[in-house]
Amino acid sequence: MAANRLHVTSGQVVALRLVDVAYGIDLQRAEELWARRAAGASARSRLGATPAKAVSFGVPPLALELGQVPITVEGREVAAAASVRLYDFGVAAFALRVPAQETDWAGFTQLVNGVDAAIGPASESPVWHALLRKLRELLAEALDRPSTALLQEDYLLAMVDALDPPMRAEEVMAGVDLVPLLSGETRELSEGARRDLLRHRFSYYPDDLVVLTWDRALILEPRRETDVADVLEMANAQLLEMRTYDEMLDEELPRMRALVEAARNRTSMLAARRYSRLAQRLHTLVGEVTELTERVDNALQVTEDVYLARVYAAAMELFRVGSVSAAVDRKLAIIRDTYTALHGEAAGARAELLEIAIVVLIAVDIALSLVKP
C-alpha cells in the first residue's frame, strides 16, 4: 500500500531531554516535597505490561506530571503534556508529548521532524530550561550535591497506536518509507545508509514494530504499552550517567597528576602525611564512582522477557554505553594504581622518618653519655 494512503489514527511524538541534575536524588523526599508544593500527579514507575519477575528496577524511578506546555511547531502553537521521571542516581528525564491523530503518514513524519526542530537538541527552545528551573525550585531539598555542569541527552520517540488500514510489521517495513522519519533528512539517502538506519528493528507480535536509531525510534504498538519507550529512556539515562563520570574523571586525572608531582617535589618531614591525605582523597573518589556505576549498571534488570531484553541490549549497544563504561573503568584503574603507589610512598616516607628518628635518638644518647662526668 502506498504511504500516502496510510493514516495514523492515533499516536504521539515524545521528545525526551535527560539532564544530570545531582550526585543523587532522594526519591522519597522528592515525592513528599512534590505532594506538598505542587498540584501534579506522582507515581513510582514500573513497566506496565511486563511481569515484575521478568524486568525490575533497582530503585523504581519517580514519575511527576508537570502539566501542559505550549510549544511552537512549524509556525503553529500546540499543547504538549510535560512530565519528568527522576532516577535515584541523579538523572531527571523530562518528556514532552505531542498528540498525533487522523493524519496521513507524510503528515506524521512532518510532525515528528517539526517537533525535533522546535525542541530537539539543535533548537534553542527555552521550554526545557523552564521545566528544569521549576523542578529545582520545588525539589531542591531532595537533590544531593546538585550538578553545576549540566550534561544532557536527547531522544525522540515516534509512537503509533493505530493505523488505518491496520498493517503488519513486515508490511510497514516493505510498503512505507521510514527513512525520512527516522533520519530527519529530506534528501534521499544511499542504499548503505538506509540499511544501517533500518538495521535495528524488532517485532514480537505480527502487528508491533520497533526501529531504533542513535537519536530516534519508531514504536508501533497497537496495545498502547509503554515498556519499550521506558526501556529506551532508561538506556539513555545510563548513557548520560556514564558520560558524567567519564567527564568527571577526565577533569580529575590532570588534577591528580599535578597534586602527585607537587607532593613528590616537596621534601619535608610531613611528606608521609601529604601522601596519605592525597591517597585518601583518591580512594574516596574511586569508592564514590564505583558505587554510582554499580547503581547505574543495576538500575534495570531484564531477565525473562526475551523480546524486551533484545531491545534493551540493542539500545545499549547502539548508544555505546559499554564503550563509555569501559573508558570509565580504565580511568578508575589509573586512579587505583596511583592510590596504591601513593600508599606505598606514604608507608616508605613514614619508615624513613622513623629511621631518622631512631638515628637521632641514638646520636643524642651517645652525646649525653660523652658529656657525663
pLDDT for residue 272 is more than 90: no
pLDDT band at 135 (very low <50, low <70, confident <90, very high): very high
Tell me: the pLDDT tens digits for 347-365? 666 666 677 778 877 877 7
In whole angstroms, give the CA distance from residue 9 to residue 159.
11
Query: ∠187-190-194 over CA atoms, to 5°?
Result: 95
In whole angstroms, give the CA distance from residue 112 to residue 186.
13
> Could you tell me the CA-to-CA distances from 297 to 300, 323, 327 in Å, in that order?
7, 13, 15
pLDDT for residue 86 is more than 80: yes
Q: What is the pLDDT of residue 337?
A: 75
Asked if 88 and 295 touch (Cβ cutoff 8 Å), the reply is: yes
Tell me: the pLDDT tens digits for 140-166? 999 998 988 778 999 999 999 999 999
pLDDT for residue 10 is more than 80: yes
DSSP-assigned states of every residue in 203-256: -SSTT-EEEE-SSEEEEE-TT---HHHHHHHHHHHHHHHHHHHHHHHHHHHHHH
In whole angstroms, give the CA distance from residue 104 to residue 2.
11
In whole angstroms, give the CA distance from residue 248 to residue 92.
19
What does the domain layout of the chain look like in residue ranges?
7-233, 238-371
- Between residues 63 and 371, which one has the greater pLDDT? 63
In whole angstroms, give the CA distance from residue 88 to residue 143.
10
Lowest mean pLDDT across 98-102, 118-122, 291-295: 291-295
The secondary structure element, H or E, covering residue 129 is helix 127-139
pLDDT for residue 214 is more than 80: yes
pLDDT for residue 50 is more than 60: no
List the one residue out of 25, 3, 12 whose CA is nearest residue 299: 25
Mean pLDDT across the chain:
83
Q: Is 7 helix (H, G, I), strand (E, B) or coil?
A: strand
Q: What are the respective helix, strand and coil percentages of the chain, to the nearest 5?
A: 50, 25, 25
List the one residue out of 241, 223, 201 whose CA is nearest residue 324: 241
Q: What is the pLDDT of residue 178?
A: 94
pLDDT band at 1 (very low <50, low <70, confident <90, very high): very low
